[in-house]
Structure 1
Amino acid sequence: MPKSKRAKVVSLTKTEAAPQERKASLIERIRDSIDAYSRIYVFSFENMRTQSFKELRVEWADSRFFLGKNKVMRVALGRDEEEEYRDGLAGLGKLLTGNVGLLFTNRSPEDVAAFFDEYGFLDFARGGFEATEDVELEAGPLEGMQHTMVEQLTKLGLPVVLDRGVVTLTKRHDVCKAGDVLTPEQARLLKLFDRRMSEFKIVPVAMWHADEVTMLADGAVGGAGGHVGRSRK
Protein backbone atom coordinates (compact mmCIF):
# COMPACT_ATOMS: atom_id res chain seq x y z
CA MET A 1 0.00 0.00 0.00
CA PRO A 2 1.42 3.44 -0.86
CA LYS A 3 2.91 5.16 2.13
CA SER A 4 1.10 8.28 3.31
CA LYS A 5 2.81 11.36 4.63
CA ARG A 6 0.54 11.85 7.64
CA ALA A 7 3.46 12.68 9.93
CA LYS A 8 4.38 15.76 7.90
CA VAL A 9 3.53 19.03 9.67
CA VAL A 10 2.03 21.63 7.35
CA SER A 11 1.84 25.31 8.24
CA LEU A 12 -1.57 26.96 8.00
CA THR A 13 -0.25 30.52 8.06
CA LYS A 14 -1.20 31.06 4.41
CA THR A 15 -4.86 30.12 4.97
CA GLU A 16 -6.05 32.54 7.63
CA ALA A 17 -9.59 32.96 6.22
CA ALA A 18 -11.21 30.50 8.69
CA PRO A 19 -10.69 29.63 12.39
CA GLN A 20 -7.74 27.33 12.93
CA GLU A 21 -9.92 24.60 14.43
CA ARG A 22 -12.15 24.42 11.37
CA LYS A 23 -9.15 24.37 9.04
CA ALA A 24 -7.48 21.59 10.99
CA SER A 25 -10.71 19.56 11.10
CA LEU A 26 -11.25 19.89 7.34
CA ILE A 27 -7.65 18.90 6.62
CA GLU A 28 -7.91 15.87 8.91
CA ARG A 29 -11.20 14.70 7.38
CA ILE A 30 -9.84 15.06 3.85
CA ARG A 31 -6.70 13.11 4.73
CA ASP A 32 -8.75 10.40 6.42
CA SER A 33 -10.70 10.14 3.17
CA ILE A 34 -7.51 9.91 1.12
CA ASP A 35 -6.61 6.84 3.17
CA ALA A 36 -10.11 5.35 2.88
CA TYR A 37 -10.93 5.78 -0.83
CA SER A 38 -9.15 4.72 -3.99
CA ARG A 39 -10.19 7.63 -6.22
CA ILE A 40 -10.41 11.38 -5.74
CA TYR A 41 -12.17 13.73 -8.13
CA VAL A 42 -12.03 17.48 -8.43
CA PHE A 43 -15.44 18.58 -9.69
CA SER A 44 -16.77 21.94 -10.77
CA PHE A 45 -20.33 23.05 -10.10
CA GLU A 46 -22.81 25.64 -11.27
CA ASN A 47 -25.87 27.11 -9.56
CA MET A 48 -25.36 25.29 -6.27
CA ARG A 49 -28.56 24.41 -4.40
CA THR A 50 -28.13 23.34 -0.78
CA GLN A 51 -31.08 20.96 -0.67
CA SER A 52 -30.13 19.28 -3.94
CA PHE A 53 -26.57 18.82 -2.72
CA LYS A 54 -27.82 17.28 0.53
CA GLU A 55 -29.88 14.80 -1.48
CA LEU A 56 -26.84 14.02 -3.63
CA ARG A 57 -24.80 13.25 -0.51
CA VAL A 58 -27.49 10.80 0.61
CA GLU A 59 -27.55 9.11 -2.80
CA TRP A 60 -23.75 8.81 -2.66
CA ALA A 61 -23.61 7.71 0.98
CA ASP A 62 -20.79 5.29 0.14
CA SER A 63 -18.59 8.22 -0.92
CA ARG A 64 -17.65 11.63 0.50
CA PHE A 65 -18.01 15.14 -0.87
CA PHE A 66 -16.08 18.14 0.38
CA LEU A 67 -16.78 21.81 -0.22
CA GLY A 68 -14.67 24.36 1.59
CA LYS A 69 -11.98 26.96 1.26
CA ASN A 70 -9.96 25.96 -1.79
CA LYS A 71 -6.72 27.04 -0.13
CA VAL A 72 -7.38 24.82 2.88
CA MET A 73 -8.33 21.82 0.74
CA ARG A 74 -5.13 22.41 -1.23
CA VAL A 75 -3.15 22.26 2.02
CA ALA A 76 -4.81 18.92 2.83
CA LEU A 77 -3.70 17.46 -0.51
CA GLY A 78 -0.33 19.22 -0.52
CA ARG A 79 0.63 22.51 -2.10
CA ASP A 80 3.72 21.07 -3.77
CA GLU A 81 5.55 17.76 -4.17
CA GLU A 82 7.36 18.24 -0.88
CA GLU A 83 4.12 18.69 1.09
CA GLU A 84 1.75 16.40 -0.82
CA TYR A 85 0.05 13.77 1.33
CA ARG A 86 0.37 11.13 -1.38
CA ASP A 87 2.24 11.17 -4.67
CA GLY A 88 0.43 13.15 -7.35
CA LEU A 89 -1.94 15.02 -5.04
CA ALA A 90 -0.21 18.38 -5.44
CA GLY A 91 -1.13 18.26 -9.12
CA LEU A 92 -4.76 17.65 -8.20
CA GLY A 93 -4.64 20.48 -5.68
CA LYS A 94 -3.58 22.97 -8.34
CA LEU A 95 -7.02 22.48 -9.91
CA LEU A 96 -8.82 23.74 -6.80
CA THR A 97 -9.79 27.16 -8.11
CA GLY A 98 -13.22 28.71 -8.54
CA ASN A 99 -16.43 26.81 -7.82
CA VAL A 100 -15.02 23.36 -7.19
CA GLY A 101 -15.09 20.56 -4.63
CA LEU A 102 -13.66 17.12 -3.92
CA LEU A 103 -15.32 13.72 -4.29
CA PHE A 104 -13.79 10.64 -2.67
CA THR A 105 -15.16 7.33 -3.88
CA ASN A 106 -14.47 3.68 -4.57
CA ARG A 107 -16.99 3.60 -7.41
CA SER A 108 -15.62 2.82 -10.85
CA PRO A 109 -14.75 5.66 -13.25
CA GLU A 110 -17.47 4.37 -15.57
CA ASP A 111 -20.11 4.64 -12.83
CA VAL A 112 -18.98 8.17 -11.92
CA ALA A 113 -19.00 9.33 -15.54
CA ALA A 114 -22.40 7.78 -16.29
CA PHE A 115 -24.01 9.31 -13.21
CA PHE A 116 -22.77 12.86 -13.64
CA ASP A 117 -23.36 12.87 -17.39
CA GLU A 118 -27.06 12.52 -16.55
CA TYR A 119 -27.18 14.45 -13.29
CA GLY A 120 -28.75 17.88 -13.16
CA PHE A 121 -31.44 19.67 -11.19
CA LEU A 122 -33.46 22.48 -12.74
CA ASP A 123 -34.49 25.18 -10.28
CA PHE A 124 -35.76 28.74 -10.22
CA ALA A 125 -33.23 31.40 -11.16
CA ARG A 126 -32.24 34.09 -8.70
CA GLY A 127 -31.45 37.74 -9.17
CA GLY A 128 -28.12 38.16 -10.96
CA PHE A 129 -28.56 34.98 -13.03
CA GLU A 130 -28.22 35.31 -16.81
CA ALA A 131 -31.52 34.32 -18.43
CA THR A 132 -31.27 31.34 -20.77
CA GLU A 133 -34.46 31.97 -22.74
CA ASP A 134 -37.09 34.53 -23.66
CA VAL A 135 -40.16 34.52 -21.42
CA GLU A 136 -43.23 36.37 -22.69
CA LEU A 137 -46.72 36.72 -21.25
CA GLU A 138 -49.64 37.28 -23.58
CA ALA A 139 -52.44 39.67 -22.69
CA GLY A 140 -55.42 38.06 -21.02
CA PRO A 141 -56.36 36.16 -17.85
CA LEU A 142 -53.44 34.89 -15.77
CA GLU A 143 -54.24 31.36 -14.69
CA GLY A 144 -53.38 30.43 -11.14
CA MET A 145 -53.11 34.03 -9.92
CA GLN A 146 -55.36 34.90 -6.99
CA HIS A 147 -57.22 38.22 -6.88
CA THR A 148 -55.22 39.15 -3.79
CA MET A 149 -52.03 39.16 -5.90
CA VAL A 150 -52.87 42.18 -8.05
CA GLU A 151 -50.89 44.62 -5.92
CA GLN A 152 -47.91 42.27 -5.73
CA LEU A 153 -47.88 41.68 -9.50
CA THR A 154 -48.16 45.41 -10.16
CA LYS A 155 -45.14 46.08 -7.95
CA LEU A 156 -43.24 43.46 -9.95
CA GLY A 157 -43.93 45.42 -13.13
CA LEU A 158 -46.91 43.58 -14.63
CA PRO A 159 -49.74 45.69 -16.11
CA VAL A 160 -52.64 43.82 -14.48
CA VAL A 161 -56.21 44.59 -13.47
CA LEU A 162 -58.93 42.64 -11.73
CA ASP A 163 -61.61 41.89 -14.33
CA ARG A 164 -64.71 40.23 -12.83
CA GLY A 165 -62.57 38.70 -10.13
CA VAL A 166 -59.95 37.39 -12.59
CA VAL A 167 -56.40 38.75 -12.61
CA THR A 168 -55.88 39.93 -16.19
CA LEU A 169 -52.81 41.15 -18.05
CA THR A 170 -53.82 44.23 -20.03
CA LYS A 171 -51.09 43.90 -22.65
CA ARG A 172 -48.31 41.58 -23.74
CA HIS A 173 -45.32 41.67 -21.39
CA ASP A 174 -41.70 40.50 -21.74
CA VAL A 175 -40.56 39.08 -18.42
CA CYS A 176 -37.01 38.60 -19.71
CA LYS A 177 -34.91 38.00 -22.79
CA ALA A 178 -32.16 35.41 -23.16
CA GLY A 179 -28.93 36.99 -21.96
CA ASP A 180 -30.59 39.42 -19.55
CA VAL A 181 -29.08 39.59 -16.08
CA LEU A 182 -32.18 39.02 -13.99
CA THR A 183 -33.33 41.55 -11.46
CA PRO A 184 -34.90 40.29 -8.21
CA GLU A 185 -38.29 41.31 -9.62
CA GLN A 186 -37.80 39.29 -12.80
CA ALA A 187 -36.63 36.29 -10.79
CA ARG A 188 -39.74 36.53 -8.61
CA LEU A 189 -42.01 36.65 -11.67
CA LEU A 190 -40.34 33.61 -13.19
CA LYS A 191 -40.97 31.71 -9.96
CA LEU A 192 -44.60 32.81 -9.82
CA PHE A 193 -45.11 31.53 -13.36
CA ASP A 194 -43.16 28.31 -12.68
CA ARG A 195 -40.42 28.99 -15.22
CA ARG A 196 -37.18 27.25 -14.19
CA MET A 197 -33.93 27.98 -15.98
CA SER A 198 -31.15 27.57 -13.39
CA GLU A 199 -29.57 24.10 -13.55
CA PHE A 200 -27.50 22.76 -10.66
CA LYS A 201 -24.81 20.75 -12.42
CA ILE A 202 -21.67 18.93 -11.30
CA VAL A 203 -18.87 18.15 -13.76
CA PRO A 204 -15.86 15.96 -12.85
CA VAL A 205 -12.70 17.83 -13.89
CA ALA A 206 -9.90 15.43 -12.92
CA MET A 207 -9.36 12.11 -11.16
CA TRP A 208 -6.52 10.95 -8.91
CA HIS A 209 -5.90 7.20 -8.67
CA ALA A 210 -2.78 5.14 -7.90
CA ASP A 211 -0.63 8.28 -7.58
CA GLU A 212 -1.62 9.64 -10.99
CA VAL A 213 -3.92 12.46 -12.03
CA THR A 214 -6.06 12.07 -15.15
CA MET A 215 -7.70 15.12 -16.68
CA LEU A 216 -11.26 14.47 -17.80
CA ALA A 217 -12.72 15.86 -21.02
CA ASP A 218 -16.27 17.22 -20.79
CA GLY A 219 -16.71 15.52 -17.45
CA ALA A 220 -16.23 12.05 -18.95
CA VAL A 221 -13.59 9.52 -17.99
CA GLY A 222 -11.43 8.71 -20.99
CA GLY A 223 -12.16 10.55 -24.22
CA ALA A 224 -9.72 13.39 -24.75
CA GLY A 225 -8.47 13.22 -21.18
CA GLY A 226 -4.89 12.42 -20.38
CA HIS A 227 -2.49 11.63 -17.58
CA VAL A 228 -0.86 14.53 -15.82
CA GLY A 229 1.70 12.06 -14.57
CA ARG A 230 3.11 10.66 -11.36
CA SER A 231 5.24 12.67 -9.01
CA ARG A 232 8.79 11.39 -8.79
CA LYS A 233 10.49 11.42 -5.42
Structure 2
Amino acid sequence: MQMAHVADWKKDTVAKLRNIIKDHKTVAVVRVDRIPGVQLQNLRAHLRDRMSFMVAKKTLIKLALESMKDEKPGVEKLTDILDGQAAILGTDMNPFSLYKILNSNVQPMPAKGGEEAPEDIRVEAGETSFPPGPIVGELGKVGIPAAIDKGKVIIRKTVTPVKKGNVISRDLALALTKLEIFPFQVGIALDGAWEEGLIYRPSDLDVDMDAYKQDLITGAQLAMNLAVFTAYMTPKTAVPIIRKARIQALNLAVNTGILNKDSSDLILSKAYGEMLALAGIMSAEALDEDLRALVAGAAAAQPASAAPGEAASGEEAATGDGGKEKEAEEEEVSEEDAMAGLGALFG
Protein backbone atom coordinates (compact mmCIF):
# COMPACT_ATOMS: atom_id res chain seq x y z
CA MET A 1 0.00 0.00 0.00
CA GLN A 2 1.43 3.33 -1.05
CA MET A 3 1.75 5.96 1.74
CA ALA A 4 0.28 9.40 1.17
CA HIS A 5 2.81 12.01 0.18
CA VAL A 6 3.27 14.84 2.67
CA ALA A 7 4.15 18.18 1.14
CA ASP A 8 7.53 19.58 2.14
CA TRP A 9 6.01 22.92 3.18
CA LYS A 10 3.84 21.10 5.74
CA LYS A 11 6.90 19.35 7.18
CA ASP A 12 8.75 22.64 7.37
CA THR A 13 5.80 24.33 9.08
CA VAL A 14 5.50 21.59 11.71
CA ALA A 15 9.26 21.74 12.32
CA LYS A 16 9.10 25.53 12.88
CA LEU A 17 6.13 25.15 15.20
CA ARG A 18 8.00 22.47 17.19
CA ASN A 19 10.97 24.81 17.58
CA ILE A 20 8.74 27.56 18.97
CA ILE A 21 7.24 25.09 21.46
CA LYS A 22 10.62 23.66 22.40
CA ASP A 23 12.53 26.92 22.86
CA HIS A 24 10.15 28.77 25.20
CA LYS A 25 8.98 28.39 28.79
CA THR A 26 5.40 29.37 27.96
CA VAL A 27 3.45 28.13 24.93
CA ALA A 28 0.10 29.63 23.94
CA VAL A 29 -2.53 29.12 21.28
CA VAL A 30 -4.04 32.37 20.05
CA ARG A 31 -6.65 33.54 17.56
CA VAL A 32 -6.01 36.14 14.86
CA ASP A 33 -9.53 36.23 13.39
CA ARG A 34 -10.68 39.49 11.86
CA ILE A 35 -7.24 41.09 12.10
CA PRO A 36 -6.45 42.71 8.76
CA GLY A 37 -3.03 41.86 7.34
CA VAL A 38 -1.55 45.30 8.00
CA GLN A 39 -2.64 45.34 11.66
CA LEU A 40 -1.40 41.78 12.15
CA GLN A 41 2.02 42.68 10.76
CA ASN A 42 2.16 45.73 13.05
CA LEU A 43 1.32 43.63 16.09
CA ARG A 44 3.91 41.00 15.19
CA ALA A 45 6.58 43.66 14.69
CA HIS A 46 5.71 45.30 18.02
CA LEU A 47 5.83 42.02 19.96
CA ARG A 48 8.73 40.35 18.12
CA ASP A 49 11.36 41.09 20.80
CA ARG A 50 9.32 39.37 23.52
CA MET A 51 7.78 36.38 21.80
CA SER A 52 7.82 34.09 18.76
CA PHE A 53 4.66 33.85 16.73
CA MET A 54 3.50 31.71 13.80
CA VAL A 55 0.12 31.40 12.07
CA ALA A 56 -0.64 27.95 10.66
CA LYS A 57 -3.43 25.55 9.86
CA LYS A 58 -5.01 23.98 12.92
CA THR A 59 -4.16 20.46 11.75
CA LEU A 60 -0.45 21.34 11.60
CA ILE A 61 -0.56 23.07 14.99
CA LYS A 62 -2.17 19.94 16.47
CA LEU A 63 0.57 17.74 14.98
CA ALA A 64 3.28 19.97 16.44
CA LEU A 65 1.69 20.07 19.90
CA GLU A 66 1.07 16.32 20.07
CA SER A 67 4.62 15.56 18.92
CA MET A 68 6.00 17.58 21.89
CA LYS A 69 3.98 15.91 24.67
CA ASP A 70 6.95 13.81 25.86
CA GLU A 71 9.28 16.81 26.16
CA LYS A 72 6.60 19.11 27.58
CA PRO A 73 3.95 16.98 29.30
CA GLY A 74 0.46 18.42 29.04
CA VAL A 75 1.19 20.77 26.14
CA GLU A 76 -0.90 18.54 23.84
CA LYS A 77 -4.01 19.63 25.81
CA LEU A 78 -3.82 22.93 23.98
CA THR A 79 -5.19 21.11 20.93
CA ASP A 80 -8.61 21.03 22.63
CA ILE A 81 -8.61 24.84 22.81
CA LEU A 82 -7.75 25.61 19.18
CA ASP A 83 -10.43 27.79 17.60
CA GLY A 84 -10.79 30.02 14.55
CA GLN A 85 -7.73 31.16 12.64
CA ALA A 86 -5.07 29.97 15.05
CA ALA A 87 -1.41 30.59 15.76
CA ILE A 88 1.24 29.26 18.11
CA LEU A 89 2.99 31.74 20.36
CA GLY A 90 6.10 31.07 22.44
CA THR A 91 7.58 33.32 25.12
CA ASP A 92 9.68 33.24 28.29
CA MET A 93 7.15 35.45 30.10
CA ASN A 94 4.68 33.84 32.48
CA PRO A 95 1.09 33.43 31.21
CA PHE A 96 -0.20 36.33 33.34
CA SER A 97 2.28 38.81 31.86
CA LEU A 98 1.61 37.46 28.37
CA TYR A 99 -2.16 37.90 28.76
CA LYS A 100 -1.71 41.46 30.04
CA ILE A 101 0.60 42.44 27.16
CA LEU A 102 -1.69 40.98 24.49
CA ASN A 103 -4.69 42.78 25.95
CA SER A 104 -2.80 46.08 26.00
CA ASN A 105 -1.79 45.77 22.35
CA VAL A 106 -5.17 46.09 20.67
CA GLN A 107 -5.83 48.43 17.76
CA PRO A 108 -9.06 50.20 16.72
CA MET A 109 -10.75 48.95 13.58
CA PRO A 110 -13.61 50.53 11.60
CA ALA A 111 -16.88 48.75 10.94
CA LYS A 112 -17.44 47.40 7.43
CA GLY A 113 -21.16 46.77 7.69
CA GLY A 114 -23.00 43.61 8.60
CA GLU A 115 -21.27 43.15 11.99
CA GLU A 116 -23.00 43.24 15.37
CA ALA A 117 -22.18 46.30 17.45
CA PRO A 118 -19.91 45.29 20.36
CA GLU A 119 -21.47 48.07 22.48
CA ASP A 120 -23.80 51.04 22.15
CA ILE A 121 -22.25 53.32 19.53
CA ARG A 122 -22.67 57.00 20.41
CA VAL A 123 -22.09 59.98 18.17
CA GLU A 124 -21.48 63.08 20.25
CA ALA A 125 -22.93 66.49 19.40
CA GLY A 126 -20.43 69.08 18.21
CA GLU A 127 -18.43 70.43 15.32
CA THR A 128 -16.91 68.19 12.64
CA SER A 129 -14.05 68.82 10.22
CA PHE A 130 -16.28 68.54 7.16
CA PRO A 131 -17.15 71.51 4.93
CA PRO A 132 -20.75 71.86 3.73
CA GLY A 133 -21.66 69.14 1.23
CA PRO A 134 -23.36 65.78 0.70
CA ILE A 135 -22.10 64.54 4.07
CA VAL A 136 -25.06 66.29 5.75
CA GLY A 137 -27.53 64.08 3.88
CA GLU A 138 -25.42 60.95 4.36
CA LEU A 139 -25.36 61.43 8.12
CA GLY A 140 -29.06 62.23 8.29
CA LYS A 141 -29.86 59.08 6.31
CA VAL A 142 -28.39 56.87 9.07
CA GLY A 143 -29.98 58.74 11.97
CA ILE A 144 -27.22 61.22 12.77
CA PRO A 145 -28.73 64.72 12.80
CA ALA A 146 -26.35 67.08 11.01
CA ALA A 147 -26.52 70.73 9.98
CA ILE A 148 -24.33 73.51 8.63
CA ASP A 149 -23.14 76.18 11.04
CA LYS A 150 -20.53 78.88 10.34
CA GLY A 151 -19.23 77.10 7.28
CA LYS A 152 -18.83 73.67 8.91
CA VAL A 153 -20.92 70.56 9.36
CA ILE A 154 -22.04 70.01 12.95
CA ILE A 155 -23.78 67.17 14.78
CA ARG A 156 -26.84 68.82 16.30
CA LYS A 157 -27.34 66.41 19.21
CA THR A 158 -25.81 63.29 20.72
CA VAL A 159 -27.40 60.13 19.36
CA THR A 160 -26.97 56.34 19.52
CA PRO A 161 -27.55 55.15 15.95
CA VAL A 162 -27.05 51.49 16.86
CA LYS A 163 -27.40 49.60 20.13
CA LYS A 164 -25.18 46.81 21.39
CA GLY A 165 -25.89 43.55 19.55
CA ASN A 166 -27.69 45.19 16.63
CA VAL A 167 -26.30 44.92 13.12
CA ILE A 168 -24.32 47.87 11.77
CA SER A 169 -25.55 48.74 8.29
CA ARG A 170 -23.17 49.40 5.42
CA ASP A 171 -24.23 53.07 5.19
CA LEU A 172 -23.79 53.59 8.93
CA ALA A 173 -20.37 51.90 8.84
CA LEU A 174 -19.23 54.36 6.14
CA ALA A 175 -20.58 57.32 8.14
CA LEU A 176 -18.87 56.18 11.35
CA THR A 177 -15.57 55.75 9.52
CA LYS A 178 -15.83 59.28 8.11
CA LEU A 179 -16.43 60.55 11.66
CA GLU A 180 -13.38 58.52 12.80
CA ILE A 181 -15.48 56.36 15.09
CA PHE A 182 -13.99 52.86 15.14
CA PRO A 183 -16.27 50.54 17.14
CA PHE A 184 -14.06 47.46 17.06
CA GLN A 185 -10.75 46.61 18.66
CA VAL A 186 -8.57 43.97 17.12
CA GLY A 187 -5.71 42.14 18.68
CA ILE A 188 -4.23 38.72 19.30
CA ALA A 189 -6.73 36.82 21.47
CA LEU A 190 -5.20 34.28 23.85
CA ASP A 191 -7.31 31.10 24.08
CA GLY A 192 -4.98 29.12 26.35
CA ALA A 193 -1.41 28.93 27.61
CA TRP A 194 0.82 26.11 28.90
CA GLU A 195 3.53 26.57 31.54
CA GLU A 196 5.25 23.83 33.55
CA GLY A 197 2.50 21.28 32.91
CA LEU A 198 -0.44 23.57 33.68
CA ILE A 199 -3.00 24.94 31.23
CA TYR A 200 -4.26 28.48 31.83
CA ARG A 201 -7.48 29.82 30.28
CA PRO A 202 -8.32 33.53 29.92
CA SER A 203 -10.60 33.35 32.96
CA ASP A 204 -7.59 32.22 35.03
CA LEU A 205 -5.41 35.04 33.75
CA ASP A 206 -7.83 37.97 33.96
CA VAL A 207 -6.49 39.25 37.27
CA ASP A 208 -6.55 42.79 38.65
CA MET A 209 -2.83 43.03 39.41
CA ASP A 210 -3.14 46.16 41.59
CA ALA A 211 -5.81 44.53 43.75
CA TYR A 212 -3.80 41.29 43.85
CA LYS A 213 -0.70 43.18 44.98
CA GLN A 214 -2.68 44.94 47.71
CA ASP A 215 -4.12 41.61 48.89
CA LEU A 216 -0.58 40.22 49.16
CA ILE A 217 0.56 43.24 51.20
CA THR A 218 -2.46 42.98 53.50
CA GLY A 219 -1.95 39.23 53.92
CA ALA A 220 1.72 39.71 54.80
CA GLN A 221 0.86 42.38 57.38
CA LEU A 222 -1.82 40.19 59.00
CA ALA A 223 0.53 37.21 59.05
CA MET A 224 3.25 39.30 60.72
CA ASN A 225 0.79 40.59 63.34
CA LEU A 226 -0.42 37.05 64.10
CA ALA A 227 3.13 35.70 64.37
CA VAL A 228 4.19 38.50 66.74
CA PHE A 229 1.02 38.14 68.85
CA THR A 230 1.53 34.37 69.21
CA ALA A 231 5.33 34.69 69.61
CA TYR A 232 5.96 32.52 66.55
CA MET A 233 9.70 32.99 66.16
CA THR A 234 11.19 33.38 62.66
CA PRO A 235 14.03 35.52 61.28
CA LYS A 236 11.42 38.12 60.28
CA THR A 237 9.47 38.15 63.55
CA ALA A 238 12.32 37.81 66.08
CA VAL A 239 13.02 41.55 66.42
CA PRO A 240 9.34 42.64 66.76
CA ILE A 241 8.67 39.83 69.27
CA ILE A 242 11.68 40.77 71.43
CA ARG A 243 10.75 44.47 71.20
CA LYS A 244 7.16 43.67 72.27
CA ALA A 245 8.39 41.49 75.14
CA ARG A 246 10.74 44.25 76.35
CA ILE A 247 7.91 46.81 76.39
CA GLN A 248 5.65 44.43 78.29
CA ALA A 249 8.42 43.60 80.79
CA LEU A 250 9.16 47.28 81.36
CA ASN A 251 5.47 48.03 81.84
CA LEU A 252 5.21 45.19 84.38
CA ALA A 253 8.31 46.41 86.22
CA VAL A 254 6.95 49.98 86.46
CA ASN A 255 3.53 48.89 87.69
CA THR A 256 4.95 46.46 90.26
CA GLY A 257 7.75 48.77 91.46
CA ILE A 258 10.65 46.56 90.39
CA LEU A 259 13.66 48.85 90.23
CA ASN A 260 16.36 48.42 87.62
CA LYS A 261 18.35 50.71 85.35
CA ASP A 262 15.54 50.83 82.76
CA SER A 263 12.55 51.14 85.07
CA SER A 264 13.90 53.40 87.85
CA ASP A 265 13.35 56.74 86.08
CA LEU A 266 9.84 55.72 85.01
CA ILE A 267 8.92 54.49 88.49
CA LEU A 268 10.17 57.72 90.07
CA SER A 269 8.28 59.81 87.52
CA LYS A 270 5.11 57.83 88.19
CA ALA A 271 5.55 58.15 91.98
CA TYR A 272 6.28 61.88 91.62
CA GLY A 273 3.08 62.42 89.68
CA GLU A 274 1.02 60.45 92.18
CA MET A 275 2.62 62.41 95.05
CA LEU A 276 1.64 65.72 93.42
CA ALA A 277 -1.89 64.46 92.84
CA LEU A 278 -2.22 63.50 96.51
CA ALA A 279 -0.74 66.82 97.68
CA GLY A 280 -3.21 68.67 95.42
CA ILE A 281 -6.24 67.27 97.29
CA MET A 282 -4.77 67.76 100.79
CA SER A 283 -5.23 70.81 102.96
CA ALA A 284 -2.53 73.49 102.47
CA GLU A 285 -1.77 73.44 106.23
CA ALA A 286 -0.71 69.79 105.94
CA LEU A 287 1.97 70.61 103.35
CA ASP A 288 5.37 72.07 103.91
CA GLU A 289 6.61 75.08 102.00
CA ASP A 290 8.32 73.06 99.20
CA LEU A 291 5.25 70.92 98.53
CA ARG A 292 3.00 73.98 98.41
CA ALA A 293 5.30 75.52 95.83
CA LEU A 294 5.31 72.34 93.74
CA VAL A 295 1.50 72.06 93.88
CA ALA A 296 1.11 75.73 92.93
CA GLY A 297 3.52 75.28 90.00
CA ALA A 298 1.63 72.21 88.74
CA ALA A 299 -1.71 74.04 89.05
CA ALA A 300 -0.33 77.01 87.10
CA ALA A 301 1.03 74.77 84.34
CA GLN A 302 -2.28 72.95 83.76
CA PRO A 303 -4.40 75.97 82.69
CA ALA A 304 -1.61 77.05 80.34
CA SER A 305 -1.57 73.67 78.60
CA ALA A 306 -5.36 73.56 78.49
CA ALA A 307 -5.69 77.12 77.11
CA PRO A 308 -5.91 76.13 73.41
CA GLY A 309 -8.76 73.72 74.12
CA GLU A 310 -10.56 76.27 76.27
CA ALA A 311 -10.19 78.96 73.61
CA ALA A 312 -11.77 76.61 71.07
CA SER A 313 -14.81 76.01 73.32
CA GLY A 314 -16.93 79.13 73.71
CA GLU A 315 -19.33 77.49 76.16
CA GLU A 316 -16.61 76.47 78.62
CA ALA A 317 -14.96 79.90 78.38
CA ALA A 318 -18.30 81.53 79.19
CA THR A 319 -19.04 79.39 82.27
CA GLY A 320 -15.43 79.43 83.53
CA ASP A 321 -15.96 76.70 86.14
CA GLY A 322 -16.92 73.77 83.91
CA GLY A 323 -13.44 73.11 82.60
CA LYS A 324 -11.82 73.34 86.05
CA GLU A 325 -14.35 70.92 87.55
CA LYS A 326 -13.66 68.46 84.75
CA GLU A 327 -9.88 68.74 85.31
CA ALA A 328 -10.32 68.22 89.02
CA GLU A 329 -12.37 65.09 88.39
CA GLU A 330 -9.70 63.72 86.02
CA GLU A 331 -6.92 64.42 88.56
CA GLU A 332 -8.67 62.67 91.45
CA VAL A 333 -7.04 59.42 92.50
CA SER A 334 -7.96 56.97 95.20
CA GLU A 335 -6.38 57.37 98.60
CA GLU A 336 -4.89 53.90 98.23
CA ASP A 337 -3.14 54.88 94.94
CA ALA A 338 -1.92 58.12 96.46
CA MET A 339 -0.45 56.38 99.52
CA ALA A 340 1.19 53.83 97.23
CA GLY A 341 2.77 56.69 95.34
CA LEU A 342 4.17 58.29 98.50
CA GLY A 343 5.41 54.93 99.64
CA ALA A 344 7.20 54.39 96.34
CA LEU A 345 8.70 57.88 96.57
CA PHE A 346 9.88 57.80 100.18
CA GLY A 347 10.46 54.08 100.66
Distance apart, 1:22 and its partner CA: 3.8
2:59 corresponds to 1:104? no
Q: From the superposition, tell whether residues 76 and 175 of structure 1 become closer, same or farther in structure 2 (CA, over 3 Å).
A: same
Q: From the superposition, tell whether residues 219 and 117 of structure 1 become closer, same or farther in structure 2 (CA, over 3 Å).
A: farther
- 1:229 — aligned with what? none
2:129 corresponds to 1:144? yes
Letter of the structure 1 residue corresponding to residue 168 of structure 2: L
Q: From the superposition, tell whether residues 204 and 121 of structure 1 become closer, same or farther in structure 2 (CA, over 3 Å).
A: same
- 1:57 — aligned with what? 44
2:54 corresponds to 1:69? no
Letter of the structure 1 residue corresponding to residue 111 of structure 2: A
Q: From the superposition, tell whether residues 127 and 21 of structure 1 become closer, same or farther in structure 2 (CA, over 3 Å).
A: farther
Q: Residues of 1 paired with 2:191 and 2:156: CA distance?
A: 49
Contact 1:78 1:89 in 2 (8 A): yes
- 1:90 — aligned with what? 76
Q: Give ranges in structure 2 of 5+ residues lacking alignment.
A: 209-347
What secondary structure, in the 3-state scheme, does the structure 2 residue paired with 1:218 have?
helix
2:43 corresponds to 1:36? no
Contact 1:216 1:222 in 2 (8 A): no
Q: Residues of 2 paired with 1:134 and 1:109: CA distance?
A: 33
Deviation digits for residues 87-130 of structure 1 (CA, Å, limit 9, x no counterpart): 33321122112244321112233432332343432222222221
Letter of the structure 2 residue corresponding to residue 153 of structure 1: E
CA RMSD of aligned residues (A): 4.0
Contact 1:162 1:168 in 2 (8 A): yes
Q: From the superposition, tell whether residues 222 and 173 of structure 1 become closer, same or farther in structure 2 (CA, over 3 Å).
A: closer
Q: Residues of 1 paired with 2:57 and 2:178: CA distance?
A: 35
Letter of the structure 2 residue corresponding to residue 182 of structure 1: I
Q: Residues of 2 paired with 1:30 and 1:116: CA distance?
A: 20
Q: Residues of 2 paired with 1:64 and 1:213: CA distance?
A: 20
Q: Which has the higher helix share?
A: 2
Q: Which has the higher strand share?
A: 1
Q: Residues of 2 paired with 1:168 and 1:195: CA distance?
A: 15
What secondary structure, in the 3-state scheme, does the structure 1 residue paired with 2:205 have?
coil
Contact 1:67 1:100 in 2 (8 A): yes
- 1:135 — aligned with what? 122
2:180 corresponds to 1:194? yes
Q: Residues of 2 paired with 1:182 and 1:39: CA distance?
A: 39
Contact 1:74 1:93 in 2 (8 A): yes
- 1:4 — aligned with what? none
Q: From the superposition, tell whether residues 95 and 173 of structure 1 become closer, same or farther in structure 2 (CA, over 3 Å).
A: closer
Contact 2:124 2:158 in 1 (8 A): yes
RCO higher in structure (CA 8 A, sep ≥6): 1
The structure that has the greater radius of gyration is 2
TM-score, normalised by the number of residues in structure 1: 0.66
- 2:7 — aligned with what? 20
How many pairs are equivalent?
203
- 1:7 — aligned with what? none
Q: Identity, % of aligned pairs?
A: 17
Contact 1:41 1:103 in 2 (8 A): yes
Q: Residues of 2 paired with 1:28 and 1:45: CA distance?
A: 21
Distance apart, 1:27 and its partner CA: 1.3
- Aligned 1:112-123 pairs, distance under 5 A: 112-123=98-109
- 2:138 — aligned with what? 153
Distance apart, 1:201 and its partner CA: 3.7
Q: Residues of 2 paired with 1:78 and 1:129: CA distance?
A: 36
Distance apart, 1:28 and its partner CA: 1.9
